Amino acid sequence: MTPPALKIKELSVWLGTGHGRAPVVDNISFSIKAGDATGLVGESGCGKTMTAMAILGLLPASGVSVRSAGIEVNGKDISGLDSLQRRKVLGRDIAMIFQQPATALDPVFTMGQQISAVYRRHASGSKQHIRQTMLGALESVGFSQAEDIAAAYPHQLSGGMRQLAMIAMATVCKPAVIIADEPTTALDSSTRTLILQQLKRLQTVNKTAILFISHDLAVVSQACQDVMVMYCGRLMETTDCQSLFSHARHPYSAGLLSCIPRISETRPAPINSIPGQVPVATELPAGCHFAPRCTRAEAQCRNSVPKLDHENGRGAACFRPL
Amino acid sequence: MNTHVQSAGVPLLEIRDLSLRFHRQEQVAVDRVSLSITAGRTMGLVGASGAGKSTIARAILRLVTPDSGEILFKGKNIGLMNSQEMKTTRQRIQLVFQDPSVSLSPRRSVEQTLMEPLQHFAIGDMNHRNEKIREILHTVGLDESALRRYPHQFSSGQQQRIAIARALVTDPDLLIADEAVASLDVSIQAQILQLIQKLQMDFGISILFISHDLAVIRQIADDIAVMYRGQLLEQSPADPFFSHPAHPYSKTLLSFAAGKTPSNWTSDKWYLERSRRSADSTSACVFAGFCPDKMAVCEQIEPAVRDIQHKNQRALEPHCVKCHLYDAEQTNDQ
């Protein structure tokens, strides 16, 4: 049996701060099969980006401690690699699409130079071959005038075009896994839809596994089959998108769902929201971290930590699930 | 509370045939837009980035000068106001921006931030001002402990509440919210939308709500105006708009919002759409290049604005569309 494209075992990230150490990712495990897309969803400050950075090994060595029982890409553990070995993996086996293409791209090189540089690091070939591959990557995200885009500097492209060009850059080596961190946030709906379409294409054509990070469940449901809901560094619920939308079991998932404004023919009822806000990592409440904001919380929720029971990859970490 | 202009017939804000072209750019930012906002109602102005939505907001506050057309606030042309009248008008029209981390001064405490508009417009004495600030903080869901703190000590949602409080402190008649929830998390966005809904109910304030997100607009708008490349393509009360969107562009926006790409849209087409100058197409419909329902006439003649009001609608609420598809409808109906 082939191993999953991405398998995370018992990943934890602690930040050392003045007040002591604080957990920002708390013992999470999951896996994504080739060609699947899984959403990681939660409010800002829930540890989503920290999870991505820990998987890629991009967190600084000082002040942060990362523990895991394994981070496997296609069955190969990348958690213990030194920085030299890691550079051979990043971009070739696993790549990232960042939220802000404006800051993730280098302003002094053309898009063509930047995409070629990624390819040259991992593969060899004639100048002609490298150029063809680079143009091919741009064409594959839907640019028919790939030459023009390759010759452009990042600032000459609009936000959406930059994001598409960054997808071309992340996929030029056809990595097995792509982590997309809020790739459509701050883009308008037409651009967002086109970006999601490109990510779908990567799944079907390249069999890429995608970890899709977003605060917006509506976007996740368009981009992914499966979803993990994260709160204060813990996975609260893992399930497929359809089940989550039809029957969310964790009150936090239900809360996130109720926040999504919806288009309907008649005027919708006033929108709901989750009262309160995400606590900072140094002041996490005991028991279930969501208990202080939860309408269903009881004494048990404030004292002990509910476990996430995966049954066929589905489950909710809650004593009183819906 | 507020002095509402409820006199029938006179809208709170009326924009007539507004055009604005940025110099050194061929692009027309706003192209003959007419729009009116009735007291107590919320107008949702929707369109893709670059459609000219924010330029209209700036023109209303006279931060940019239109090339032609006029803007009437309570029946008075703001283009003809002297500086004293304009100052009074700006007190009545307040603005909330997209990103509170940029629109709030990092060097001013919340108290200073909220006090400044009251001082600038010389509203009340010191006691009244202190009272007013505390009342407004309570309205937006913050407590007095916020007064001595600085913007960076708040989360983005709380910062946006402070920005809204600053806008409300002068008791404006019209609030312009320019993508006020676009940079927020969904859960924070929901909290801010709840706050805006509360303001609509408790204060009956009029809002020009600018957004690219139709789902957000659906939640709070009474009327909808759709802009595309500087032009207003459809204007309607919210319910008929969402049950019977008329313009092909409105339908395109709705299908994008539902996560569906119209079959004739590709990355390329969309790229072209963004880079094309509207000066290219003065004699055609601005949307003709991408319209799924394009006819021969659309490339040659600019469509006129038609009222396609449905039978069951109130007479004062026109449903206007700028599209050749409805050319015939008007002649049949009348």
B29-60 pLDDT, tens digit per residue, is 899 999 999 999 999 999 887 788 999 999 99
> Tokens 């929830």 correspond to what residue?
B181
The answer to whether A274 contacts B48, with C-beta atoms less than 8 Å apart, is no
pLDDT in tens, A283-292: 899 999 999 9
What whole-number distance in Å separates Cα of residue A234 and Cα of residue B191? 23
The answer to whether A161 contacts B218, with C-beta atoms less than 8 Å apart, is no
What whole-number distance in Å separates Cα of residue A258 and Cα of residue B267? 32
Q: How many CB atoms lie within 10 A of CB B142?
A: 19
Looking at the DSSP assignment, which residues form a beta bridge with residue A70? A9
Query: What's the pTM value of the predicted model, to 2 decimals?
Result: 0.86
CA dihedral A235→A240→A246→A252, nearest 10 degrees, is 10
- Select from A230, A200, A203 the least CA-distant residue to A214: A230
What whole-number distance in Å separates Cα of residue B174 and Cα of residue B232? 21
Q: Which candidate from B156, B190, B254 shows the least CB-CB separation from A259?
A: B190
Chain A 181-200, residues with CB within 8 Å of chain B CB atoms: 186, 188-194, 196-198
**What's the mean pLDDT in B51-73?**
92
Length of chain B: 334
pLDDT in tens, A31-58: 999 999 999 999 988 999 999 999 999 8
- Tokens coding B56: 């209209």
Secondary structure element (H or E) that encloses residue A2, with its range: none
pLDDT in tens, A189-212: 878 888 898 899 999 999 999 999
- Tokens coding A28: 């999470």
pLDDT category of residue B136 using cuts at 50, 70 and 90: very high
pLDDT in tens, B152-211: 988 888 999 999 999 999 999 999 999 998 888 888 899 999 999 999 999 889 999 999
Q: What percent of chain A has pLDDT over 70?
A: 98
> In A, which residues are within 8 Å of B274 by CB distance?
158, 160-161
Amino acid at A241: C
Q: Which candidate from B155, B185, B242 shows the least CB-CB separation from A265?
A: B242
Q: B155 — contact with chain A (CB < 8 Å)?
A: yes
The answer to whether B214 contacts A263, with C-beta atoms less than 8 Å apart, is yes
Q: Is the ipTM of this complex over 0.90?
A: no
CB distance A181 to A100 below 8 Å: no
> In B, which residues are within 8 Å of A272 by CB distance?
190, 194
Q: B306 — contact with chain A (CB < 8 Å)?
A: no
Counting other chains too, the contacts that B258-262 makes at CB distance below 8 Å and 24 or more residues apart are B258/A263, B259/A193, B259/A196, B259/A222, B260/A193, B261/A193, B261/A194, B261/A197, B262/B292
The answer to whether B215 contacts A160, with C-beta atoms less than 8 Å apart, is no
CB distance A213 to A180 below 8 Å: yes
CB distance B233 to B322 below 8 Å: yes
Q: Which candidate from A143, A186, A264 shows the least CB-CB separation from B267?
A: A143
Share the mean pLDDT of chain A.
Answer: 90
> In A, which residues are within 8 Å of B254 by CB distance?
263
Looking at the DSSP assignment, which residues form a beta bridge with residue A73? A6, A76
Interaxial angle between packed helices B156-168 and B186-203, expressed in degrees from 0 to 180 and rounded to the nearest 10: 20
> In A, which residues are within 8 Å of B265 by CB distance?
190, 194
